[in-house]
Structures are given as structure tokens and as C-alpha cells.
Chain A
Amino acid sequence: MLAGMSADSGVQASYFVTAVLFIMGLKRMSSPVTARSGILWAGAGMLVATLITFLYPGMSNYGLILPAMLIGGVLAWWSGKRVAMTNMPQMIALYNGMGGGAAAAIAAVELYRGGTEGYASTTLAVAGGIIGAVSFSGSAIAFGKLQGLITRSIRFRGQQLLNLLLLAAALLLGALVAAQLNASLAVVTGFFLLALLLGLTMTLPIGGADMPVVISLYNALTGLAVGLEGFVLNNAAMIIAGTVVGSAGTLLTQLMAKAMNRSLGNVLFSGFGDTGAAATGEVSGSLKPIEASDAGVMMAFASKVIVVPGYGMAVAQAQHKVWELCQLLIDRGVQLRFAIHPVAGRMPGHMNVLLAEAGVPYDLIADLDEINAEFETADVALIIGANDVVNPVARTDKSSPIYGMPILNADKAKNVIVIKRGKGAGFSGIENALFYLDNTRMLYGDGQKAAAELIQAIKAVE
């Protein structure tokens, strides 16, 4: 299937170098100490591959290639530089969708011009085409949902049946093309249109809360599509990079789904993940408010404070104030750490990015497994903008929708201070038993304002 190519060996050697740089770059990106250099390595690999491709044997249409690169590159550069850190997940979705679209476009060009040779090559082109097209339109929907352009999750009876029929129809047309029975313009076009439509109908019913898992899945799918088209074009850099991302992305998707206590099948087929799930569970006790001045004194004289930030903190843009507050405490000799739940942000690791933006060093940040045993020795757990991820019913109440989800054991701390805007329930609509505990005090107010008041209170202690 891969015969017939006699590309310049210099080009092939360069692609090999690119593949090595990609793998080493990804490896370096997997540790916070070397992560920064990792993207530079991978970037160098991309540069080498892109430049050498201009020397690819038998190329023409440079007058089209250059402006297309320029338009796509400049638009992406401009949008990537401007996007706020809170909106990072949807930008990743957008760029990922573009990659899927590009893979589908490669498949389309090769199938239209009959550039594939033999059954195997054609089948791979078709497979990469459908996966890339689904990733393209699906990622576009994911972007729209997280960006707030699409606010409703469209669901109706027989939706799964419709998706199944679309998939079957797309596969049927794809099989006609792959078996070289009918590769006419109409069949190939129909195949791609059905695949694009399938991406839309698959993604529309999925709720916003599940989107990170979906984005990660589409990231893996795009990688796979790129790898498949790499086989079609006999391009080693695409095969290796695409396959590496395909398998790494699959693992990352599983890790994310696990961290959110959801199975992948559940995400794709159940249509949960919106707000308004059954709000069950009676909670006894009362909410006990506290003034910022008292809370400030409590923290100033603590020996150990654990801060639990949630997405609410990022929405209130309070991370800078919170870090200022924490620096005051550290200067007083308080032992301070941040405890991050895997889904504290919009996707696993997102909160770390937001804290890093505020200047928090990563070695003060601990994840769930590291920190959970430490809550028992903490004098104060400061919860800011987090809710479901510290709800102890996940450990105790079997009837709760979040039962079994790993949580941060903030309730084990000697004192808990919760900064909260109002008295509403969390993202899942479940009452939080933590707020009603005897050792919990509620500090009502906007996150940024509350942090500023705490700073004043601690400064007043001196």
C-alpha cells in the first residue's frame, strides 16, 4: 500500500528528526520542571517539517499554499495571543477541530483525485476522513458551547437512533469508496457531508460540564485521523505524531473521565452533564456566617492553612487577590498549600494554569492524592469558589448523584472557611453537607472582595 513513493531522502530524514523532536518534546512537557522547553522542542520539530515540505518532490500550487498558510497562521496567532486563560479549553477545542478538518481535507483531495492506490490505502483514507470530519464539526460545537454561543443542549427522542443511522449511512458510502465500487464525486461528497453531520448530532446533546472529556476525546480522534492520513501519504512524521497523540489522548481522556466520576459511554450517550440533576439528600444543621475580620485572625494565627480554589474563584477573577492573601500568610510563617481537585477548573489541570497565571509557584500546589491526608493536621481549610468537589456526601450518601466521586476531604480540617457569593447549591444542584458542619463558617461575598477584606484583616493583626 505504501509503495510507489520515491520521495527525496533528505525530506524523509527531516521528517524522522521531526518525529524524534515531537516525542522528546512531549516527554519534557510531562514534568513541570522541563515543560517549558518541551514546547520549544516540539515547535522546532514542526518548523523543520514545514520548511522541508516546500522541497517535497513533485509539488506545485505554491501560489495557493503560501496564502493559505499565512491566513490560517495569522488568524490562529492573533486569537491564541488574545484568549483569556479562563477560555483556554474552548480554544484548544477550536484548534483541534481545525486539525481534524485538515485531515478530512487531505482525505477528500486524495479520494477526489484518485490519488490512493489499492484497497488498503483507500480504506485508510476513508477511515481518517470520517474521523477527521467528525472531530471537525464536533469540536466546533464544543467550542460554541463553552464559549456560550450555544446555550441549549438539544435532545429529542430517537436521537441515538438518528446518530446510529447517520453513522451507518456514512460507513456504507465509505465502504463503497474503499471497495472501489463507486468513488464518484457524488458518493465521496455524500460521505463527507454525512460524517460532518454526525459530528454535529453527536455533540449537540452533550452538556457543558462534560465538554472537557469530549474535547479530549476529539483531540485523540484528530491524532488518529492524522496518523491514518499519514499512511495514505506515506509520511512518517504524520504517522508517528498522529499515532502518539491518538494513544496519549485516549489515555488522557480516560484519566479525565475517571477524575470526573464519569464513564466515557455515559458522557457520549446519556445526556447528563447539565445543571438541574436530581437535587436529593436532606441536610441538617444551619449555615453559620463569619465576618472577614474574624476569619482573617483565625488564619493569621494558624500554623497550617490549605486553600481549596474552584472555578468560581476564576470567574470572580480573584486568583491574584487570593495569592496576595497567601503571600501575607506565608510571610507570617504559616505553612500554606493549595489543594486542587482534578476538575477544579473547566478541565483537569485548568486551575493550575489559572493559579500559575496569578504567580503561584507550582510546588505550593498539591493534587488530591498528595493533600488529602494533610487536611486532618490543617488548622484552616479555606474554600473559595469550590463546591461539589468538597461535598462529603460523595463519601457517605449512596443515593447522591456524586456518590463515589473522589473529593478533597476539607471537612477533616479543624476549621473550614467557605467564601461564597450566596446560598445556592453547586454545579450539580446538590446541597453541600460541608457548609452545615459544626466547624464550618460561611464568609459571604464576591471572591475578590472577600479576599481583599481578609488581606485587610491580616494586616490589621500586626
Chain B
Amino acid sequence: MTGMVALYIFMLAAFTGYEVISRVPVILHTPLMSGSNFVHGIVLVGAMVALGGAHTPLEKTIGFIGVLLGAGNAVGGYVVTERMLEMFKSSRARAARPRPH
């Protein structure tokens, strides 16, 4: 990847993020923030690569913390987003099941 290509990717990704979010109803703001929080958990991959190339004890220590935090971001982000979205059901889906009361 050259610098110029990288710049194009950056610009297109920025527009994509803007477009994906711009028509979202308010009811989904919290789950969506949580979902985007999960997506940047991809930082785990970078932390793995950084720790995988670490040599000195200092680098290894920081790399270890990085992977731990990155895994926390990815897993925690997934669990809470999934829990929230699982609850969103429409009237029809409700009617298909017996009422709890």
C-alpha cells in the first residue's frame, strides 16, 4: 500500500461510516454505539501482532496489557451488544409466543 492508496482507503472508510449511521433511528443509538464499540475491538489483532514482535521485557509487558485490553474490548463489546439487540422484537414476533404474564 502506498501512502496515496492509504489516503483513499481512509477517505472512503470515513464516508462509509457516515453513510451507515446517518439514517439510524434514535431507538438504535445505544445498541449501535455499543456495536461500533465492538467493531473497533479489531484492535485486538494489532495488539497480537505487536506482542508477537516484541523482544524486551518492557515491550512484552506492554504488549501483554495491549492484548488483554483488546480482548476485553472485543469480547465485552460483543456480549453487551448481543444482549441488547436480542431484546428488540416486533409485535408479530411477540404474538407468536405465549405471554409471560
Contacts and interface: CB of A to CB of B under 8 A. Distances in A.
A362 B89 contact: yes
Main secondary structure of the interface of A (DSSP, over half): helix
Contacts of B84: 85, 88, 353, 356
Interface stretch (A265-273, A343-351, A411-419): A343-351
Contact of B38 (A46, A61, A75): A46
Interface string B29-54: 11111111111111111111111111
Interface of B: 1-3, 6, 9-10, 13-18, 20-56, 58-60, 62-91, 93-94, 99-101
Contacts of A69: 44, 48, 67-68, 71
Contacts of A112: 56, 58-59, 62
A191 interface: no
Contacts of B100: 359
A251 interface: yes
Contacts of B6: 1-2, 231, 239
Contacts of B82: 39-40, 43
A42 B45 contact: no
B46 to A, nearest CB: 5
A461 interface: no
B73 A96 contact: yes
Contacts of A348: 26, 29-30
A327 B65 CA distance: 50
8 contacts: A70-B71, A85-B84, A109-B50, A215-B33, A237-B45, A349-B33, A361-B94, A362-B27
Contacts of A49: 42, 45
B70 A72 contact: yes
Contacts, number: 399
Interface string A397-417: 000000000000000000000
A353 B31 contact: yes
A2 B74 CA distance: 26
Given A26-B35, A238-B46, A353-B87, A222 B51 contact: no
A102 B67 contact: yes
Contacts of A242: 40, 42-43
Contacts of B93: 361
Contact of A30 (B28, B54, B81): B28
B80 A92 contact: yes
Given A91-B76, A244-B16, A362 B46 contact: no
A35 interface: yes
B76 A233 contact: no
